Amino acid sequence: MPDESTLIHGVDPATPVIVGVGQAAERLDDPDYAALGEADLAARAVRAAFADTGADRAAADLAADVDVVAATRSFEISSPAARSVFGRPDNMPRAVAARTGMNPRRAIAEITGGQSPQHLVNEFGAEIAAGRAGPVLLFGAEVMSTVRRLRADRVDPAPDFTEEVAGSLEDRGYGIAGLTSVESVKHGVMAPVHQYALLENARRHRLGLSAADYAQQMGELFAPMTAVAAENPYAAAPRQHTAAELTVVGENNRMVTVPYTRRLIARDHVNQAAAVLMMSVAEATAAGIDPARWVFLHGHADTAEAPMLARPDLSLAPASDAALAQALEMAGVGPDDIAAFDLYSCFPIAMFTAAEALGLRADDPRGLTATGGLPYFGGPGNNYSMHGIAEIVRRVRRDPGSRGLVTANGGLLSKLSVGIYSTVPAPWRPSRSAALQARLDRGERVPLCRFPDGPATVESYTVLDPAGEAPIGVVIGRMDDGSRFIGLADPDDTALAERLLGDPIGTRVWVRSSPTRNTVTADETTMERLHPRTPVGFRDDYADVVLRRDGRVLEIVINRPDSRNALSANTNQELDEIFDAYFADPDLWVAILTGAGDKAFSSGNDLAASAGGGGLATPANGFGGLTSRRRLPKPIIAAVNGFALGGGLEVALACHVIVADEQATFGLPEVKVGLVAAAGGLVRLPRTIPPALTRDMILTGRRLSADEALSHGLVSRVARRGEVLDLAREVAAEVLAASPTAVRASLSVMADTEAQADTVQAVQDSLAVMDEILVSADTREGIAAFVQKRTPRWTGR
């Protein structure tokens, strides 16, 4: 603690304070509408923040002192799929800095998420308090409304907002891992409105409310916000509505997704910007900023929820509740001590969740929003809460000694940052969120079922575009073992479609997986009628695979030489069916897998198909129908005749024996195209070759020659050029000379004991196989043939 004589107005001079806030907006129908780009609109908000300080020093001098500029991400750079239609500065923080007289030491682009404005305040409050940062300017802007207008009007020449800006940039990346899962993408449920609808319907069911009663609650929650927006000069939609006008479906209020009408969801077509200026008490004093304008952060917290499909209860957000509780405890206050709130309101459940945690009713006289909320004030992407902070700062200044609270939500109730503000001087209190998060991370998680098959119970649901020509029913369900899946209702199942328009939660359904999606029907009978199972067996012909049957041996040739035998979704499906048929055919005892031509065994995933979504179409048994198959009861020999790269190597690794042409090449080049070897390469390769070599191959994409692969135990034999298939046939003949019963039992024991660390225990466990072997006909035949000095006549029994 500093000596009392060094305190300024009773607080440590290093204490961070907000000294200026600014906002800017332009609506398409404004008389002075200028179609500003993102950087220019942001600069308006930054200048307003400098002016808001009322400092004795000129704004130019304040700007020159700014040490750090941090920007929230606009929607144009919030995901790998986003793009800037009319270009943008390559360094937005410094582009705005240059417009406003700043030359900061650090320029930062924050991660994606609505939590980011409050998180940045929390983060840089700590940096200022620790003396690691001087004045910090936070800002964000969106011009989605202008971009949409310019695209619609096809302005010629089109505007170009591109700028090359010199200077460093700390780009923190998207930070969206866990917010959109492979399962969501696979089923086309990626938009926030779709995923929030699943959470919202789960909440309605938990409360035991009908759809009509819940709609009324949503309307009553949001209607008061419209009155606030109507008075806000920066609001995108300044019009007051009744609860019924928000929830009753009509010409201007269509049902977007059950249970949301258009007026109940965030309005993202806006042109809005906001900025917050922070500095230490000492710096504020030196700048001549009136202490009456200083706003202190009394409490703060940042937490993250489990990924949506892993949460024990889809209707709850315990991490958000914990963040609010911690921030209030840190501030030493309760909800009754808060005079003004701005609760994040992208969708009703986000505001309901925070309000419930705080014990607030929809008609609380203090109100739940200071801006008017995301659907009515506007939802400028990740930057909405910068406006919320600006409004709360102004409110606590107008009512000195009062407190205001901001919740900033990111993802799917995924991240919550909280701040409690007041003009009352308070010391900086370090964050305790890391310990809180560690405790939350130890909580229960629901296992994911990626390939569900059988009876299940509906846990939540929604209907996408319910008034459209082809509404899509989405179901989140639980298998009987408790695992969770996401699936799409079969569009031809009228019984399930009718159920989804009521309340299907808790009812039984039937689900079946395929490489492209999980399909849900009302019952098993309907599933079999709409999707009769294909009998296990070989087809007469295949598009991507050639089969050759020679006695007990099945030769499987991947026949896509023009693409170096890369596997498409169809190739995966065909191989999956073929291996099913091979394992089921009692007359086949050994399989050989190879590629057509002499260039490649397989170059892996067909990236061209993956770019169009085909990369998600992998069977339950994994890439090539092998890499995730739990049991391979009969031997498979990989005859590698060229490149075995990426998924090609992963398929080979899943086989029991690998033989190689002397010109063969092995590698996992996924990292070179931004992918990872997730089809078994990261697991099987380290168990096959030395660790140092494994890391070299995986991290650099290094390739091994056939001789190197042989020396390190990746392959067992190498053939002269062009003769690998002959070698594979020799190996197959050697396997056929052995007892098929003993071969299969050996494969089973090796698979069962592979992961056991205790060698002695594994040996003891393996003895159980003898119970089966001793009573087999092949064992009797093998002993008899040995005694009689003749070749055994195996039957496979």
Instruction: Copy the structure tokens of residue 239.
Output: 């019009």
Single-letter residue type at 636: I
- The DSSP string of 429-449 is ----HHHHHHHHHTS--PPB-
Query: Catalytic one among 142, 305, 459, 650?
Result: 650
Q: Yes or no: say if 274 and 383 are a contact pair by the CB < 8 Å rule.
A: yes
Residue at token pair 């849900």: 520
Determine how β-strand 296-304 pairs with β-strand 271-280: unpaired
Give the H/E segment covering residue 218.
Answer: helix 211-230
Distances (CA, A) of 787 to 51, 75, 370, 780, 790: 102, 79, 93, 11, 8
For 309-382, strand residue ranges (E) read 340-342
Please tell me what DSSP assigns to residue 665.
Answer: E
Distance CA 113, CA 414 (A): 9
| Distance, C-alpha 113 to centroid of its chain | 12
CB atoms within 10 A of CB 771: 8
| Distance, C-alpha 85 to centroid of its chain | 24
Q: Yes or no: say if 548 and 592 are a contact pair by the CB < 8 Å rule.
A: no
List, in order, residues 6 or more apart from 302 with CB less than 8 Å away: 115, 118, 119, 122, 323, 415, 416, 417, 418, 431, 433, 437
Distance CA 784, CA 787 (A): 5
Q: Yes or no: say if 359 and 337 are a contact pair by the CB < 8 Å rule.
A: no
Q: Yes or no: say if 463 and 324 are a contact pair by the CB < 8 Å rule.
A: no
Distances (CA, A) of 150 to 86, 266, 310, 769: 9, 22, 41, 72
What is the sign of the dihedral through the CA atoms of 625, 631, 636 and 639? positive
Please tell me what DSSP assigns to residue 482.
Answer: S
Residue at token pair 């607080």: 11
Distance CA 314, CA 294 (A): 40
Look up 650 and say whether it is catalytic: yes
Render the burial of 709-729: b for 16+ CB within 10 Å, e for the rest. Answer: bbeeebbeebbeeeebbebbb
Q: Yes or no: say if 396 and 390 are a contact pair by the CB < 8 Å rule.
A: no
Q: Yes or no: say if 366 and 253 are a contact pair by the CB < 8 Å rule.
A: no
Instruction: Copy the structure tokens of residue 470.
Output: 């082809």
Task: For the sheet with 340-342, list strands across it.
Answer: 296-304, 415-422, 403-410, 340-342
List, in order, residues 6 or more apart from 85 with CB less than 8 Å away: 76, 147, 150, 151
* Residue whose C-alpha is closest to residue 118's, from 358, 249, 326, 299: 299
Distance CA 629, CA 579 (A): 10
Distance CA 198, CA 79 (A): 22
Distance CA 299, CA 326 (A): 8
Query: Catalytic one among 555, 574, 670, 781?
Result: 670
CB atoms within 10 A of CB 101: 18
Single-letter residue type at 28: L
Distance CA 303, CA 301 (A): 7
Q: Could you check whether the bond before residue 104 is cis, i.e. omega within 30 degrees of 0?
A: no
**DSSP-assigned beta bridge partners for residue 109:** 71, 171
CA dihedral 742→746→747→751, nearest 10 degrees, is 150
Distance CA 230, CA 209 (A): 31
Active site residues per annotation: 650, 670
